Amino acid sequence: MILKTNTYRFVLLSFILGMAGCSSTFQAPIEDRNGVPPRVEQPKPVVNNGAITIPLSDEMVDQSQRSEQATTEPLSAAPEATGMPVSPTAIRPAQQNTAVIALLSEANNYSEEGDLRSAQSTLQRAQRIAPRDPEVYFALANTHLTLQDYSLAEQVALKGVSLVQGQANQLNRFWSLIAVIRTAAGNTNGAKQARDTANRY
C-alpha cells in the first residue's frame, strides 16, 4: 500500500514536473484562444463614438463603456427652419451618375427585404461616389426612420435640404419627409413646422 502510494506520488510529481517542463518547452508562438467561450447567441451591437460594433465576445467591451453609452444623449433636434419665402439661388440638379442609380436601386432592394444594414452600407457607398446627390440622403434618412433612429434620420434629411436649395419639388419632398420623421419621433410642433415649410413649395 505504502509502495503504491509512493509510486503514485512519484508519478504525479513527475507528471507535474513534466507538465511544467513541457509548458516551458512548448512555447507556442500563438495565442491560445481555447479559453474564449463559444458564442452562444448573436451578441448585441454596441455603439461607441458613432461606431456600431458586434463584440467579438462579451468580455471584449467593458461595462463602464456600456453604461456610458446608455446615457449618451440623443442628438438634439434640428435648429428651427427659417420662415420666410425667398427667391433662393438654385443649385442645378446634377445629372445622376449611372453608378449611383445602380447603387440606389440595390439599396432599395435591401430595404424592401428588411436588410437595412446592407441598405445603409450600399447608400454610404453611393454617398462616397456622389456626396452631393440629394437622393442618397433621402434614401439614407428613410432607412434611419425605419430603424427608428429619428434624430439621425432628421439630420440626414436636413443635410438633403441643404443640397436642394432652390428646387421647389425637392424642398417639398424633403420637408415632407422631415414632417413624417418628427411625427414618428413624437415632435408634433416640429412636424407641423416642417409640414408648413413643405407646403410653401
Partner 1 sequence: MATTKKPTRSRKARKTTPTFKQKLLSTSYKVFFAMIVLFGIALVFVDIHIRQQFEGKRWAVPAKVYARPLELYAGLSLSLDDLKIELRGLGYQFVSKVSQPGQAEFSTSKAIIYSRGFNFPDGNEQAQQIVLDFSNDLLTNVRSYQGNPISLVRLEPILVGGIYPLNNEDRDLIQLQDAPQQLIDALIVIEDRDYYQHLGISPRGIARAMWINIQAGSFVQGGSTLTQQLIKNFYLNSDRNLARKLMEIPMAMLLELHYSKDEILEAYLNEIYVGQEGARAIHGFGTAAHYYFAQPIQELKLHQVALLAGLVKGPSFYDPRRHPERAKARRNLVLRALNEQNSITDAEYKRAITMPLGIVERSSLLKGAYPAYLDLVKRQLRETYQDADLNSEGLRVFTSLNPIAQNKAEAALVDTITKLEKLHGKKLKQLQGSVVVTEPQTGEVIAIVGGRQTRYQGFNRALDAVRPIGSLVKPAVYLTAIEQGYTLISEIDDSPYKLAMKGGQVWNPENFNHKSNGMVPLHEAIAQSYNLATARLGMTLGLDKVISTMQRLGVTRPMNAFPSLLLGAQGLSPMEVATMYQTIAANGFQMPLRSIRMVTDKAGQELSSYPFQLKQTVSSNSIHLLQYMMQETARIGTARSIYQHLPADINAAGKTGTSDQQRDSWFAGFTGNRLAIVWLGQDDNASLPFTGASGALQAWIAYMASETLQPFVAASPEGIEYVWIDPQSGQLSAEYCLGAQQMPFLLGTGPTLAIDCVDQHDDNPVSKSIDWVKQLFR
**Which residues are at the interface with partner 1 (CB under 8 A)?**
7, 10-11, 14-15, 18-19, 22, 25-34, 46, 48-56, 60-61, 75-76, 78-79, 82, 84-86, 88-89, 91, 97-99, 101-103, 117-118, 120-122, 124-125, 127-129, 131-132, 140, 152, 155-156, 158-159, 162-163, 165-166
**In whole angstroms, what is the distance from residue 127 CA to residue 124 CA?**
5
Coil vs helix vs strand at 46? strand
Cβ neighbours for 79, distance < 8 A, ≥ 6 positions apart: none
CA triple 193-184-196, angle to 5 deg: 15
Q: Which is nearer to partner 1, 127 or 193 (CB)?
A: 127
Residue 177 Cβ vs partner 1, minimum distance, rounded to whole Å = 16
Give the cell for residue 5: 502510494
**In whole angstroms, what is the distance from residue 149 CA to residue 157 CA?**
12
Residue 24 Cβ vs partner 1, minimum distance, rounded to whole Å = 10
Intra-chain end-to-end CA distance of the chain, in Å: 101
Residue 38 Cβ vs partner 1, minimum distance, rounded to whole Å = 13
Residue 87 Cβ vs partner 1, minimum distance, rounded to whole Å = 8
Q: Which is nearer to partner 1, 151 or 183 (CB)?
A: 151
